Amino acid sequence: MTRYSFVNSPGPGGNLGDDLGDVWERVLGTQPDPPWQVVLATAAAALAIVAYRPAWRVARNVVTIAHEGGHALVAVLTGRTLTGIRLHSDTSGVTVSKGRPTGPGMVATAFSGYVTPSALGFLGAWLLAAGHVTALLWIMMALLLAMLVMIRNVFGIVSLLVTGGAVFLVSWYAPAQVQGAFAYLGVWFLLFGGVRPVFELRSKRRRGRARDSDADQLARLTPVPAVLWVGSFAILALAALIAGGRWLVAG
């Protein structure tokens, strides 16, 4: 893969504008699909990470980042004032916004958390199916950077810097084959990882340990009971997994 560098003055036969143009072309260009063995291997690896409890305890932080980022984005889009995001070492998180305590904006904000990891995985699968591996990685970095400015605790800052740093290093320095495998692994992980928290929520609610969950908040905001909100989370997560998985496998 060609390495790109920024220069302060034009060199022989080139200039800064050409270098920037090359970088832009690199980001927006398409890359070849990885071999089917890589697609299936990354799917198996992502499923193993989600299914194996010790690995899931660590990797679940990525899902929490997506979950809280979804709350934050929808809060802003619906006119609420975002005041901060906290990510905790137990993989929980809190997003605080100000605005009307009821109404469509609050409902949309509460609903968005559990569906965002699956939605990101679905959109990522669409980009990979179109061959936009590098664009996907840079979009991920942009989202993490936008979220970073709203983090209000040290663990959250470290989590985003580590995640964003890993994405940047792979997108900038790794060969195309490694970028492709990394992107497919990340998207598969979001698709599988978007499903497990929903069933964890269902289990916690049955034991009476999630009285302030997003589903219970939605039940207080609407006439719809919490169990149906959990069911809607599950349906959307499974639909994203099936549709996104088909895109990834089909290439």
Mean pLDDT of all residues in 89-108: 95
Considering 11-20, 27-36, 206-215, the range whose residues carry the highest mean pLDDT is 206-215
Instruction: Provide the pLDDT for residue 21.
Output: 61
SS3 81: strand
> Predicted confidence band at 32 (pLDDT cuts at 50, 70, 90)?
confident
Task: Say yes or no to pLDDT of 67 above 60.
Answer: yes
Segment (H or E) for 91 = none
Tens digits of residue pLDDT in 136-183: 999 999 999 999 999 999 999 999 999 999 999 998 899 999 999 999
Band of pLDDT at residue 2, cut at 50, 70 and 90: very low
Radius of gyration of the chain (CA): 20
pLDDT value, residue 184: 98
CB-side exposure of 230: number of CA atoms within 13 Å? 19
Mean pLDDT of 8-19: 48
pLDDT value of position 11: 43
Question: How much of the chain, in percent, has pLDDT values that exceed 90?
Answer: 81
Q: Is the pLDDT of residue 30 over 80?
A: no
Query: Mean of the pLDDT values across residues 203-230?
Result: 93
pLDDT attached to residue 9: 36
CA distance 77 to 165: 27
Hey, where are the domains in the chain? 30-250
Instruction: Give bridge partners of residue 93 from the DSSP assignment.
Output: 87
Tell me which H or E stretch contains 110: helix 104-129
Q: How far is CA 229 from CA 137, 151, 201, 213, 224, in A?
A: 31, 28, 11, 11, 7
Quick one: pLDDT at residue 51?
A: 98
At what angle are helices 104-129 and 226-250 packed, to 10 degrees? 20
pTM for this one? 0.89
Residue 5 has pLDDT above 50, yes or no: no
User: What pLDDT does residue 210 have?
Assistant: 80
Residue 22: per-residue pLDDT: 61
Confidence of residue 31 (pLDDT cuts 50, 70, 90): confident
Mean pLDDT of the chain: 90
What local confidence, expressed as pLDDT, does residue 1 receive?
37
Confidence of residue 12 (pLDDT cuts 50, 70, 90): very low
Tell me, what's the pLDDT at 208? 85
